[in-house]
Amino acid sequence: MTRRGVHRLTRYTGSRRRAAILGVLSVGVVAGLVATMMPLLADDDAALVAVADTTATTVPQDGDNGAKTTLATCPAPCDGNPRGTRDAVIRFAVTDLPATAVNIRATLRVHTWRDAAAAVTAYASTVDAGESRPAPVELGDVLDSVSTVTRGFNEWDVSGLVRGNGTVTVALAQSGLDTRIYWASRENRDPGLHPRLVLSYDVGTGASPTV
């Protein structure tokens, strides 16, 4: 409605009636803006669970974890082994983002059973998380880091990895503590402990690119 139309609508009303009409119009405009900017959040119960995970390691004693994956992180040296590096590698399949999703935020959540004075950094990774025991490779871009590990779920902002629908892989690398930290894998018997990716986004007018 134009300003002239609003004027005509309120011209023959009293000041109190005019204020009420303008108030209703203003509320309608604000409501429209809020609806446009409101983020659509995926709560933790609706979060994406990992489709594959493994530990990248060259330690023969780690064995073949193809039958049951184990997630661990450790720097070198690790437990006295100068070549004992272990990186936890986790893959997700993002499939349900709408074409109009913008400002995508992604939080990685991974569970451990202990507190530890270790820094753990999330990196983009090209390692195949479906392999039974892949070797560690050069890590990709830094996504986020926690300065200490706490018992329960730890979180990393990995929004830089998610641009739209597609497959994304994250590697967790440890520093500051030269002994292993174990993390719950997707094969843990408690589904509530599986690694997950929590997504939220705003609704825009353009198309969202795929990964």
What does the pLDDT read at residue 133?
A: 83
d(CA 128, CA 85): 17
d(CA 87, CA 77): 13
What does the pLDDT read at residue 211?
A: 59
What does the pLDDT read at residue 70?
A: 79
**CB neighbour list of residue 139: distance below 8 Å, 6 or more residues apart:** 87, 123, 124, 125, 171, 173
2: alpha, beta or left? (left if phi > 0; alpha if psi -120 to 50): beta
Helix axes 3-10, 15-37, angle to 10 degrees: 140
Residue type, 106: A
Helix and strand numbers (H, E) in the chain are: 2, 12
- Render each residue's pLDDT in the chain as its tens digit; 211 residues: 444 443 333 343 344 443 433 343 333 433 333 333 334 444 555 699 999 999 999 887 776 665 556 799 999 999 999 999 999 999 999 999 999 999 999 999 999 999 999 999 999 999 999 988 899 999 999 999 999 999 999 999 999 999 999 999 999 999 999 999 999 999 899 999 999 999 999 998 755 455 5
What does the pLDDT read at residue 64?
A: 62
Residue type, 175: S
The enclosing H or E element of 17 equals helix 15-37
